[in-house]
Amino acid sequence: WHLQGCPLSLQMLAYNRHTYATVSQRLIITVIPAPGGDPPYQGEFLVGNRNVEELLPVVAREMFLQASAGVWERGDLQVINITSALDRGGRVPLPIEGRKEGVYVKVGSHSPFSPCLESAVSPQSLFRCSLGQQPLASCYDTFAPHFSIRWCNLTLLQVWPSPTTPGPVWGSGVLEDDGDFQPPTEVSPQDLLPGFLVTLLVPLVVALLLCLLLGHLMCCRREGV
């Protein structure tokens, strides 16, 4: 779907996790292309000590971008998507000790990944994660203490724009002069009388036989006749 520049009407439904009260609101959203296009380098972080509504405000997102810039070593970062960990198969936390649901935050940049991020997703780091250990990271964790990052769930993606297929070419609307019209080959006339007679006579004969049989049973098979 090509949605750039098209206004979208969304019906938002929210509920209070404590009282389970619900409220709905209709939002009109206009999709506009990102300045400079979509960032090709994207990293998704799992924040373990936050709920999704805590990262939606602009102040919280700016704070997360500043922390991301410290490990990415770039300043042109932007938040692409924020998703609750419950939508990725996460479990609902127990209502004790202030535990959070967890949030996946996808950040994009036009600059390549830093060596710190690449080392965090290296095969050696994945092997350490399989053993329950912390992955390798050659940089200082600038997310602490505000954001607790699950480094074993870090995902790095390189998204390149797909080539656009050319659309149809519209002509002038006038047919080109291609010579005289050549009608299709003439079809020899067919005799439709036999098919008509079969279609008409066969049901009539069957109906007549049924009438004779029914008349014989009702008139000639009566008691005393």
Closest to 138 in 3D by CA, of 117, 156, 107, 153: 117
Using the structure block, give the residue that is written with the tokens 């997102």: 61
55 in a structural domain: yes
Average pLDDT over residues 102-110: 92
Report d(CA 220, CA 225) in Å as an integer. Answer: 6
19 in a structural domain: no
pLDDT value at position 223? 66
81 in helix, strand or coil? strand
pLDDT-based confidence at 1, cuts 50/70/90? very low
Q: What is the CATH number of the domain that holds 117?
A: 3.30.70
Report d(CA 76, CA 37) in Å as an integer. Answer: 13
205 in a structural domain: no
Residue 51 tokens, joined: 């709920």
58 in a structural domain: yes
130 in a structural domain: yes
pLDDT in tens, 155-187: 999 887 666 566 667 766 666 666 676 777 777
Mean pLDDT of the chain: 82
Report d(CA 71, CA 81) in Å as an integer. Answer: 19
Q: Can you give the residue range of the structural domain that contains 61? A: 37-158
* Total structural domains within the chain: 1
218 in a structural domain: no
**What Å distances lie between residue 149 and 45, 128, 219, CA to CA?**
7, 16, 97
Average pLDDT over residues 74-101: 83
**What Å distances lie between residue 14 and 11, 20, 52, 96, CA to CA?**
10, 9, 12, 23
pLDDT in tens, 8-53: 788 888 888 788 889 998 878 776 766 667 789 999 999 988 888 8
pLDDT value at position 66? 92
211 in a structural domain: no
214 in helix, strand or coil? helix
Whether pLDDT at 79 is above 70 = yes
184 in a structural domain: no
